Structure 1
Amino acid sequence: MSEVQTAAQLVEFEGLHNQELLARYNNSLMGVFGTPQRVLVRGTGCTVWDADGKEYLDLLGGIAVNALGHADPFLTGIVSSQLATLGHVSNFFTSPTQIGLAEKLLELAQAPSGSRVFFANSGTEANEAAFKLARRNAGTAQTPRTRIIALEGAFHGRTMGALALTAKQAYREPFEPLPGGVEHLPFGDPDALREAVDDTVAAVVLEPIQGEVGVRPLPPGYLKAAREITREAGALLILDEVQSGAGRTGNWFAFQGEVAGGEQIVPDAVTLAKGLGGGFPIGALITFGDEVSGLLAAGQHGTTFGGNPVATAAALATLHSLEARGLLQHAADVGAWLRGRLASVPGVVEVRGEGLLIGFDLDADFPAGIAPQVVQAALEAGFIINAPGPRTLRLAPPLILTRDQAARFLDALPALITTAAAAAGKDMP
């Protein structure tokens, strides 16, 4: 066993190619994801390679997860060192990395005294904790708070509480009845929010930038209005920053950036995951102030693996690197440049986002399924992107992406769109 150098050798996968491995995948894994596009075997920086040796520029970053790219030496060293020292202790105990990460997140969130952090293992688990936090804002016997407000287009996860907050009916319907009391309001309509929120509402749960519908930021002024409306009604304002947090938008949190319209928004709670661990699974719920932090008491929530020494060490290493290497400003600068260039590509009609969380739409004259066709053409050309909608493409690359790397994709994109349109039997509009 001491001679084994890689996990692939443990399962005797070395030398096998995509088709062989995908056949084994289909015979052994549950089909909830369908058949993967490729079998990826290694990566460095913004580049990955598949089992056939083909190289790809990763412009999706594991869906906004790999903030530092692949095989970052500092992150790899910290994780390896921590695992060699202390891997898991359960939450009967704590560790310096758990305490240090909680303190760092409270600092970055500019959270007031009395704020606290709960660690989970994923975004959906962080949102489950937020759902339970909302339930604890229960009101009084005379006026119980039984309602939770979310928005149309929202995606908060696939476990039952998070799924109740998620709007997409195709995700919800197979598992109904879901936890009750959740209502979905029209996206970005402060008047609808004002009309809906009263003293029967426990919480309003919002993504500052909706990711799964194609990177859709809340309109200017909406967050400020939501803060005022929830405060007046005594409801919690919970922000889901699972995809938009941890520097992705050029700020530590999207609620600190352009989507807040320059306003100083102080939420009651924020959830994080994805980029927080730089590729290592971790999620977090941050509660703001004594009153909100006291809503979940001892024994009312928990997790075996949440906040373990290795996950919190990975997150500390990620945040340290983002800060020390100036990657938030880098993400803001490269993202602004990339969005500006995308807007001039023939066939692209709208570009949205902040930092390196970017969505763009293709002309409505294309067939409805054009975006997945572009994803396939891009994969064949050596680029990994994503289609969250029939005409919408999403980019969420590592925050180390360079302009030269982005330019390679921009130079290729017109031909990719042309190829996709031809495959769909349609000329460029």
Structure 2
Amino acid sequence: MVKLDAEKLKKDFPILDQVINDEPLVYLDNAATTQKPKQVLEALAAYYQTDNANVHRGVHTLAERATRDYEASREKARRFINAKSTKEILFTRGTTTGLNWVAAFAKEILKPGDEVLISVMEHHSNLIPWQEACRQTGAKLVYAYLKDGQLDLDDVRSKLSPKTRFVSLAHVSNVLGAINPVKEIAEWAHAKGAYMVVDGAQSAPHMPIDVQDLDCDFFTLSGHKMLGPTGIGLLYGKEDVLNQMTPLEFGGEMIDFVSEQEASWKDLPWKFEAGTPNIAGAIALGAAFDYLDALGMESIHAHEQELVAYLLPKLQDIEGLTLYGPLDPHRRAGVLSFNLEGLHPHDVATALDYEGVAVRAGHHCAQPLLGHLGISSAARASLYVYNTKADCDKLVEALLKTKEFFNGTL
């Protein structure tokens, strides 16, 4: 495992070389979206400049090159998460689309009396589709809750039953930073005959993923959270499960044969990809996989854990700052949500922006979790490969300045 040189990596990201409010930009909103290295930007531009054509349809040179690169990205995705086959890799618009596809499959299975188990920490994308699936089928949506800032595994086990048909959990919480033991939970779910669904939006960019080892039935991710473009993501599903699913969209590209009154679908994975796909996005996501593979996901995870271990105690030392999530740095990823006593999170984020520090503020699309925590919003700093200990110091310095400014005006 090679130690990352984050300061050197910054040079690959043109957007980071700028000044915000007379201060060098410190970008700490990576849980919302990550910045793009020049290698990804160049791959995106190269497709439109040299290979722009539709995939799977033409026999001319541009079409063949576009198809080659598009399907090469699918293979890169397969390797990145260690799926058995590219048949198990479906290109989507992102995590939200993937979870909606799974919930649509669930509607074909669920019936009154069945249960879907999620946690109170879920992003709305892994909550609302299940609310709708249960509402439309008469199934019951069951929640597991927290203990010591992380998922209460005893609560999970107690709520798994023969009625449980789906378990759907975030691998990493986008608010708490807590890393959930989804491999262990998948084993419990399968013992009850349930499908295991993993929201990997906050894990796939930050740690090694092996879907075969996790033994999940579905795994979703978003390209823009892992150095890729917006509007592209993946849904992984076990091949035998995907073969049971009906496509949600119908039209060109996904059909095998059409007569006046009926049609048949292509084989996996193409039966789920109707219409012209996000070809440029998929190819650029492949470049993002190349970039991350070159760094090494073990090295990325180690780098972020080092930053969390450095930053966590500094935040805890700030009087009046409440930190959410597990306090053990080994139990969390590089997501740190907090509030400063007496200050609205939006005011905190605005004040930090004056210092050139970009963080998130709001409910982070996790309102049930924030309600459970007894708050309506929080500020959030989130780390990635190009962040340094100097960035962490700048955040702490800016928070102390913010406290001093507002205390002087109250």
**TM-score for both structures, normalised by structure 1:** 0.67
Deviation at 1:357, TM superposition (A): 2.9
Q: Which residue of 2 aligns with 1:240?
A: 199
Match of residue 306 from structure 2: 333
Shift of 1:332: 3.7
Contact 2:177/2:334 (<8 A) preserved: no
Aligned partner (choices 117, 125, 135) of residue 97 of structure 2:
125
CA deviation after TM superposition for structure 1 residue 131, in Å: 1.6
Code of the residue aligned with 2:118 in structure 1: it is A
Q: Identify if the C-alpha distance between structure 1 residues 59 and 388 changes in structure 2 by more than 3 Å, giving closer, same or farther.
A: same
Of 182, 187, 202 in structure 2, the residue corresponding to residue 228 of structure 1 is 187
Residue of structure 1 in register with 2:231 after alignment:
281
Q: Which amino acid aligns with 1:217?
A: A
Cα distance in 1, alignment partners of residues 333 and 14 from structure 2: 19
Aligned in 2, Cα 1:182/1:319: closer, same or farther, shift over 3 Å?
farther
Correspondence 1:84 to 2:56: no
8 Å CA contact 2:179–2:332 kept in 1: the answer is no
Counterpart for residue 22 of structure 1? none
Aligned residues of 2:179 and 2:333 also touching (Cα < 8 A): no
Deviation of 1:324 after TM superposition, in Å, equals 1.6
Q: Deviations over 1:331-378 (max 9, x none)?
A: 343343333433333333436477763223346xx23x5322211211
| Mapped partners of 1:422, 1:179: distance in 2 | 56
Residue 57 of structure 1: which of 26, 30, 46 is its match? Answer: 26
Q: Secondary structure at the match of 1:154?
A: coil
Other-structure match for 2:38: 73
In the aligned structure 2, how far is the partner of 1:131 from the partner of 1:163?
Answer: 10
| Secondary structure in 1 matching 2:385 | coil
The 1:200–1:283 alpha-carbon spacing in structure 2 relative to 1, beyond 3 Å, is same
5+ residue gaps, structure 2, are 1-12, 59-65, 146-150, 248-264, 266-270, 364-375
CA contact (8 A) 2:116 2:139 kept: yes
Match of 2:292 among 318, 322, 332: 322
C-alpha deviation, 1:383, in angstroms: 1.3
1:360 paired to 2:328: no
Give the SS at the match of 1:217.
coil
The aligned amino acid for 2:92 is A
Describe the superposition over 1:167-192 as per-residue Cα deviations: whole angstroms up to 9, x where unpaired: xxxxx9xxx97776351413223444
When structure 1 is superposed on structure 2, of 392-401 and 106-115 the one drifting more is 106-115
Partner of 2:208: 252
How has the CA–CA distance of structure 1 residues 320 and 416 changed in structure 2, closer, same or farther, with 3 Å as cutoff? same
- 1:401 counterpart residue number: 387
Which AA in structure 2 matches 1:358? Answer: V
Tell me if 1:345 matches 2:346: no
Gapped regions of structure 1 (runs ≥ 5): 1-42, 167-171, 257-263
Q: For structure 1, which segment, 346-355 or 232-241, has the greater mean C-alpha deviation from structure 2 after superposition? A: 346-355
Deviations 1:232-291 (A, max 9, x none): 1211110001233223xxx134x89xxxxxxx5321111100324523321110113x32
- The percentage of aligned residue pairs carrying the same residue is 15
1:15-37 deviation line (CA, Å, top 9, x unaligned): xxxxxxxxxxxxxxxxxxxxxxx
How far the C-alpha of 1:204 sits from its partner, in A, is 0.8
Deviates more, 1:267-276 or 1:324-333: 324-333
Which letter maps to 1:265? L
**TM-superposed deviation, 1:422:** 5.0
Name the SS of the counterpart of 1:360 in structure 2.
strand
Native 8 Å contact 1:343 1:351 kept in 2:
no
**Change over 3 Å in CA distance of 1:162–1:96 after alignment to 2:** farther
| 1:420 shift after superposition | 4.2
Partner Cα separation in structure 2 for residue 345 and residue 283 of structure 1 = 38
Task: State the AA in 1 paired with 2:319.
Answer: P
Looking at structure 2, the residues matched to 98 and 190 of structure 1 have their Cα atoms a distance apart, in angstroms, of: 40
Check conservation: 1:208, 1:218, Cα contact below 8 A: yes
Matches within 5 A, 1:133-144: 133-135=105-107, 138=109
Change (3 A) 1:265 1:325: closer
Structure 1 residues 135 and 99, CA gap change in structure 2 (3 angstroms): farther
Q: Is the CA contact (8 Å cut-off) linking 1:277 and 1:311 kept in structure 2? A: no
**Match of residue 4 from structure 2:** none
- The residue type paired with residue 346 of structure 1 is E
1:154 aligns with 2:122: yes
- Using the alignment, how far apart are the partners of 2:22 and 2:143 within structure 1? 47
SS in 1 for 2:215: coil
Cα distance change on mapping 1:199 and 1:91 into 2, 3 Å: farther
CA–CA separation in structure 1 for the residues paired with 2:156 and 2:112: 19
Q: How big is the shift at 1:153?
A: 3.2
Q: Which gives a bigger RCO, structure 1 or 2 (Cα 8 Å, sep 6+)?
A: 2
The two structures have a TM-score, normalised by structure 2, of 0.70
For residues 356 and 224 of structure 1, the distance between their equivalents in structure 2, rounded to whole angstroms, comes to 17
Question: Which stretch of the first structure deviates more once superposed, 308-317 or 97-106?
Answer: 97-106
Aligned length: 343
Indicate if the aligned counterparts of 1:236 and 1:268 stay in contact, CA closer than 8 A.
yes
Q: Distance in 2 between matches of 1:305 and 1:336?
A: 45
For 1:171-230, what per-residue CA distance to the aligned partner results, in whole angstroms no more than 9, with x for missing partners?
A: x9xxx977763514132234443344334433111002221xx224256xx535522321
Give, as a single letter, the amino acid of the residue that structure 2 aligns with 1:198: S
Give, in angstroms, the shift of residue 48 of structure 1: 5.0
1:330 Cα deviation after fit: 3.3
Partner SS, residue 209 of structure 1: coil
Whole-angstrom distance in 2 between the partners of 1:359 and 1:150: 22
**Helix, strand or coil at the partner of 1:280:** coil
